[in-house]
Amino acid sequence: MGFDPQLFAVKPCSEFLCTVCSEVLDKPMCVCQEGHTFCKACISRWLEKQQTCPTCRCAISQASLRPSRIVETLIGALDVCCHHSAKPNDDDGAHSSVCDSTSGQACAEEPAAKRQRMDNGCSWMGALRDLDGHLQSCGFVPDPCPLGCGASVQRRKLEEHSMCCPKRRVECEHCHEGMPYESLEEHVAQLCPMYLVPCTQKCGQTMPRKQLSAHLSADCPLQPVDCLFMAQGCTVRPRRQSLLQHLSNSAVEHSMLSAERLQELMTDMMGRIDALSKRNAELEESMTELRKSHKHLRNSHKELERLLTESARSDTFNVTWRITGVKGLVDAKQCIYSETLPIASACGGMYLTLSFQTDEDNIEWIGCYLSHTADCGKTHKIAGSSISFVLQSGNITETFDDGTKISGPGEGWSDFCKVAWLLEDDGWRLSGDDELQVELKLRLDDRHYHVNTYLPI
């Protein structure tokens, strides 16, 4: 597309017109040997459809296009008006051409009066090549309102528009709050706290809007108020100036309402007292049960302390040791040790030991010993203590003599029981299936030993 012919101060000659778009050439391109010239954009679109010159129909291509610098320079020197001016050209062709088609010489310039711009348009006139630079500063170019009201305003009138734009910032004359002009009317009519408003009860007073609520709640003589006997049931809301008259005229009714209300409160209070009494009785009963439970627990605690004390001071202790897999132990002939017994002394704990061996006569024996876990260098009397093997047909028991004392290595019997004694005709006489139960009754010196109830059995 080219330049609009109406843009030019003098009507351009026909040689400067593009035959494709019928407008003044923009970036003219020579396309053939005949010198036919067209707008660059117009001929490029033309070649997308056909490869011939639009005028002479000779074959052309994109490669054959050549810029016409002379024509471009001549057109660039033509005088044009601003896009935002009143156009001097008319449509009857009365104006003479810039170029004479016969001689090619420029015609005389139009009289100065013809160049005068109308008041509603830009008066700028200059060479086409300077038009873009002028438009950068032209005051007649419309720009969007910088305040955001949506209006399109000529640059020269932006300051004038800023004085009447609905988005301009203004200050409320009453409260001095800043806001857009378009919000001022609503602000004054409904929101401004300092705007003087009349009392809504029409008492004749005016005041800032922010004081109206306080006026109605405390001062306005025409504001309806609650009767002082509202809590007793009075539903009348006289005006503030008539409240005393209402109280005087309705004294009897108020007395009756007060009596009825008092009766209701008394009834409610008695009900609450009855409920609290029942609850108190339930709590007293619960407290009695709790006292009984507390007394029982205290007695149980004392009894438990007594039993623990007696147990700690007792010099006889019973321990049971169950051994499984006895047949394999006999065949392997290896010693086995019990866990530490639940009895502690000043030199450590105690444990039981079973041994399996064969004597010189080839008799298999089971030995049993009682030992300390550490050698403290002291001996302790265990006279009267006994060890028993519990069997199906009876027990095998050995008792430590009166003079027996235990030291670090331990005391016991290497020939406690023959392996043959555990046999019957068809099997073992053990207390359980391949299980031997060993029972220890231990009498200890109270000066050196005590029960440790936290050691595992």
**Does residue 240 belong to any structural domain of this protein?**
no
How far apart CA 199 and CA 53 sit, in angstroms, is 87
Structure tokens at 56: 């002479």
Strands (E), 37-134: 37-39, 66-67, 79-81, 125-127
Q: In a structure prediction context, what are the per-residue pLDDT tens digits for the chain, which is 457 residues long?
A: 778 888 888 888 888 888 888 888 888 989 888 888 899 999 898 988 888 898 888 988 888 888 888 888 888 888 888 888 765 444 433 333 333 333 333 333 444 433 344 456 888 888 888 888 898 888 888 889 998 899 998 888 888 898 999 999 999 999 999 999 999 999 999 999 999 999 999 999 999 999 999 999 999 999 999 999 999 899 999 999 999 999 999 999 999 999 999 999 999 999 999 999 999 999 999 999 999 999 989 988 888 877 666 655 556 778 888 888 888 888 888 888 888 876 655 546 788 899 888 888 888 899 998 887 765 556 667 778 889 988 887 888 998 887 666 666 678 888 898 888 876 655 567 766 778 889 988 877 644 444 443 333 3
Question: In the listed set 62, 81, 100, which residue is the last one of a domain according to the structure?
Answer: 81
**Does residue 293 belong to any structural domain of this protein?**
no
How far apart CA 101 and CA 90 sit, in angstroms, is 20
**Does residue 62 belong to any structural domain of this protein?**
yes
Count of alpha carbons within 13 angstroms of residue 374, beta-carbon side: 7
Cα torsion angle, 186, 187, 191, 194, sign = negative
Q: Which domain covers residue 36, as residue numbers?
A: 5-81
Q: Which of 425, 428, 437, 416 is nearest to 359 (CA)?
A: 416
**Does residue 36 belong to any structural domain of this protein?**
yes
Question: In the listed set 81, 97, 126, which residue is the last one of a domain according to the structure?
Answer: 81
How far apart CA 366 and CA 67 sit, in angstroms, is 127
Question: In this structure, what CATH number is given to the domain that contains residue 12?
Answer: 3.30.40.10
Per DSSP, the residues of 430-442 read: BSBTTEEEEEEEE
Per DSSP, the residues of 233-278 read: T-----BGGGHHHHHHHTHHHHHHHHHHHHHHHHHHHHHHHHHHHH
The structure's pTM equals 0.40
Identify the H or E element spanning 424: strand 423-424
**Does residue 326 belong to any structural domain of this protein?**
yes
Angle at 145 between CA 144 and CA 151, to 5 degrees: 75
**Does residue 330 belong to any structural domain of this protein?**
yes
Q: What is the domain count for the chain?
A: 2
Query: Cβ distance 127 to 105 under 8 Å?
Result: no
Question: In this structure, what CATH number is given to the domain that contains residue 417?
Answer: 2.60.210.10
Length of the chain (residues): 457
Question: In the listed set 37, 54, 81, which residue is the last one of a domain according to the structure?
Answer: 81
**Does residue 404 belong to any structural domain of this protein?**
yes
**Does residue 91 belong to any structural domain of this protein?**
no
Q: Which of 89, 94, 140 is nearest to 119 (CA)?
A: 140
Query: Cβ distance 405 to 442 under 8 Å?
Result: no
Per-residue model confidence (pLDDT) at position 114 = 38
